[in-house]
Structure 1
């Protein structure tokens, strides 16, 4: 016999093969791809059985995988086989294999699940333990290991505050500590717990109450469970055919969000992060203003110009680069002392651009800027954009979560007048990374702008409503089922609890203002708290240029000390366009463990302790 041959038995790949047959030849049995093949047949040949393409082929017929045409030398088709009879035959074959006959790996076959049990008791190709009663693979041991580590380390159930936020190692040291080598024989599953343990011990505990470093944090049990479920199902969010539940969930969530942000109608799509969501906005705005750009490109057109504040996210300039607009066609609009875009400055900038022969087409407002947490005056900016006929987009990736709070949603007043917005529930709200949505009030525009009409995915003659196939309005083909993660989180947690969490972090963010040695950069608008720490040696001195140079060195040194000790993580940065030297930015999010006033006090006490001698 050749590889995979067996006398009427089932092989590793699920074929039943007889003596003298080549790979894939079977006398009236089922192959790897669901074909039933007879002796002497080529791939796809079967005597009156069903093939890969759902057709019934007779002997001497092949299937052309490229053109899917029958070869001209082989034309005769066999009659269709009665499917109920075929099922009976298959059941009879399974019954004949109950004695566990020998497969090409010199082992027995479990007729219940087709797993291969070698003579030495090991499992191939999968690794797992063997049930001695029926020889089946128990499975799931690795998943149990992961779950045990997550629970033992309390990564989602409330981490011990005495634990380090990070056990910092320099890159070279970390590379030497981790077993990074991938071996041909793999890694023993029985040692997986140590492997997983190494990953956890050397990772930053973003769920720690003392992690204030980024615009995201840990996640709760609901968020993790939803993320695990979508990964286990591992499908693509492009057609109802392969992702029916996730498609209807995304449609529902987008509809609810459109209403939540104050639009009567609209459209949207979940994207891989806020940067891509912002790029979607720029692409659809350009298409709406100049539809011919989709076919002809930007050649021969007036230069299109986008406007954004001096506090906006860097994704706006990256989008301009990727879309071929050029960085020179992104105009930075000044902000006030709170970091909010000035409407009069925007109007003047638009007029100047027009006088230069360029074409304004897009304004990016920010609802919760990255550093200061500033909310641009959306109503006033909408008025300017409506007068000028320019698309208004709101980057609400960070501060958009205020929309779920009746107490704080006023910060987003005027967002209903925008043409589009982006929002990242994986930031303040505590959904798992990544979870980002782009929304527009212009229904159908996403599809018009991005559609490529791939006929192997988006056939219009499907047996269901093809409008449920959302993939053609995406710039991606492969797309994660991220909408489900938000839906699952809110479904289990509820809107009241979500609102309470948002209100709580807003309240805690106001705790810094009256502490000696801590000077606020500006009153918090979102949950960013930006401040200088002035050590005792610098207090009460004249604030000269030299003094500010000394202050600028405090935050980097304190940050280094806190990371090396692992006691706290808070970010720092300068703002050159505001002439502000290095200062701390403490960020509060709703994800993971609930923070308390005691946690805020600890963070400030720790900064004071670490910087007292500076």
Structure 2
């Protein structure tokens, strides 16, 4: 999340023995010699272990978990063997799930209605009991949880803004959960705190801020980030609100696109502005804010005696994938001394693509906000530089470690890897657009090449193609098409794609390409599936 006001940013090593085993099976002795010659002494030592040297506890064996319980695992006395075998069994479940996720013959989901899952499915019971269940049942529960869930990493999952299943990210998440720490102080999370600072600095440099100046934290999501931006804007112009409340400020008004994320409205309600003081801005056919409408509504607010405080510009709206004209909006904000926030939750990633970063344009500078120190956490006499303590920047006290997963992916892929990911997804969305824009039975929701990976369209069954498109009968029937096709998709489990209405437009498909595992053949499959399921509607 990005903001400007002058504008602000509110936004163990795995065993390497298996790697050597792979090399031994796939290389000649000469190749191994060349490999060994290229390794440092430290790397040679890491690769030198073999199965005979490994602790037997780390070998998966047939174990009867039916009479074993959580109380038998660490920190229980003599619980190491049971713990290792349980975790190895669980890893087997997870790796099998990962393998099947990338198998296109596997269903995207095994759909069941809520009442079926609540009543219990083949031994899978969601009810909680007073007595502990065996580890065998716990492993069954783990398998079934994955079985009846949605495989969001599947190459044919196009439903939400999900970016697939990244193996490095998965490794980072496992390590994060194992470390089980918190982000509020350097004292409790020294490495993670430094990772976050360095990563955010790198991100600010990519935005274009000199030397990565500014500040920020990782938040639980875009909605919370947007709320932070409103809070910072309010403090920037009316700092006394922090101590005296909203009565210390005039009636403040926020402005956001009619296509923007609903979190701006929620922030207005939660922070005491009131939903009536969140003004929606008109957009053009592509879903971009019309600057003239913004200025007209600012003047209207000022004429009423209210104070225009904040404008939210969207870089990649969730439905159309639209990018608001940030430079023009920035000029208006400067003219009326308002805070400009840029919501880049969906489109901000384009900054990593040299081909597409021009869509995320705007002159971004920064501001800052002071803190409300919690003395029991942030003692000034600690033995280290307390400026590294981050908890005071967040609304909540404890904060989940979100950084390691992202940091590890960036290390593994490099900026160039993220760029390739983004470019591939946009190329696939272009492929879909080119396939359907003139295809019989399809109509685009708006004309022109999509700005992001969002491709919005109607599928028109043969039974509707002879109707007058402006008639109420046509609109009513077309409104039901996408939901019916989606329901059949979920029943069959072959693929998933989202749909929704927008303003006066009836339900349409909102296809989002964000999974780098997807191929052109998956786009072709989606088109064929829509036509197969919708042909007789």
Instruction: Using structure 2 for the length normalisation, give the TM-score.
Output: 0.82
Does 1:582 find its partner at 2:528? no
Secondary structure in 2 matching 1:140:
helix
* Alignment correspondent of 1:563: 490
* Aligned equivalent of 1:305, options 236, 253, 278: 253
Does 1:469 find its partner at 2:396? no
CA distance change for structure 1 residues 395 and 164 in 2, over 3 Å: closer, same or farther?
same
* Aligned equivalent of 1:226, options 154, 172, 193: 172
Q: Which has the larger radius of gyration?
A: 1
CA distance change for structure 1 residues 300 and 130 in 2, over 3 Å: closer, same or farther?
closer
Query: Can you give the 5+ residue segments of structure 1 that lack an aligned partner in the other structure?
Result: 1-120, 420-440
CA distance change for structure 1 residues 122 and 409 in 2, over 3 Å: closer, same or farther?
closer
CA distance change for structure 1 residues 556 and 461 in 2, over 3 Å: closer, same or farther?
same
- Asked if the contact 2:442/2:457 (under 8 Å) is kept, the reply is yes
Report the Cα distance in structure 2 between the residues aligned to 1:289 and 1:465, rounded to whole angstroms.
30
Report the Cα distance in structure 1 between the residues aligned to 2:105 and 2:481, rounded to whole angstroms.
26
- Asked if the contact 1:373/1:527 (under 8 Å) is kept, the reply is yes
* Alignment correspondent of 1:435: none
Q: CA deviation at 1:136?
A: 5.3
* Alignment correspondent of 1:186: 132
Q: CA deviation at 1:181?
A: 3.0
- Asked if the contact 1:130/1:137 (under 8 Å) is kept, the reply is no
- Asked if the contact 1:142/1:192 (under 8 Å) is kept, the reply is no
- Range that drifts further, 179-188 or 563-572: 179-188
**Per-residue displacement from partner, 1:571-593 (whole Å, max 9, x unpaired)?**
111112xx2111000111136xx
Report the Cα distance in structure 2 between the residues aligned to 1:158 and 1:122, rounded to whole angstroms.
30
* Aligned equivalent of 2:455, options 510, 515, 529: 529
**Per-residue displacement from partner, 1:357-408 (whole Å, max 9, x unpaired)?**
1001100000111111100011111111111110000111011111110000
- Range that drifts further, 360-369 or 184-193: 184-193
Aligned length: 459
* Alignment correspondent of 1:548: 475
- Asked if the contact 1:159/1:208 (under 8 Å) is kept, the reply is yes
Does 1:175 find its partner at 2:118? yes
Report the Cα distance in structure 2 between the residues aligned to 1:340 and 1:130, rounded to whole angstroms.
60
Report the Cα distance in structure 1 between the residues aligned to 2:208 and 2:297, rounded to whole angstroms.
29
- Asked if the contact 1:128/1:137 (under 8 Å) is kept, the reply is no
* Alignment correspondent of 1:143: 87
* Alignment correspondent of 1:42: none
Query: Can you give the 5+ residue segments of structure 2 that lack an aligned partner in the other structure?
Result: 1-66
Say what the alpha-carbon RMSD is for the aligned residues. 2.0
- Asked if the contact 1:129/1:137 (under 8 Å) is kept, the reply is no
Q: CA deviation at 1:218?
A: 2.6
More helix by share: 2
Q: CA deviation at 1:167?
A: 1.1
Q: CA deviation at 1:262?
A: 1.0
Secondary structure in 1 matching 2:286:
coil
* Alignment correspondent of 2:3: none
Report the Cα distance in structure 2 between the residues aligned to 1:124 and 1:330, rounded to whole angstroms.
51
* Alignment correspondent of 2:27: none
Does 1:208 find its partner at 2:132? no
Equivalent positions of 1:207-606 (< 5 A) are 207-264=153-210, 265-414=213-362, 416-417=363-364, 441-442=366-367, 444-445=368-369, 448=370, 451-510=371-430, 511-512=432-433, 513-522=437-446, 523=448, 524-543=450-469, 544-576=471-503, 579-590=504-515, 594-606=517-529
Q: CA deviation at 1:143?
A: 2.5
- Asked if the contact 2:101/2:151 (under 8 Å) is kept, the reply is no
Instruction: Using structure 1 for the length normalisation, give the TM-score.
Output: 0.72
- Asked if the contact 1:129/1:139 (under 8 Å) is kept, the reply is no
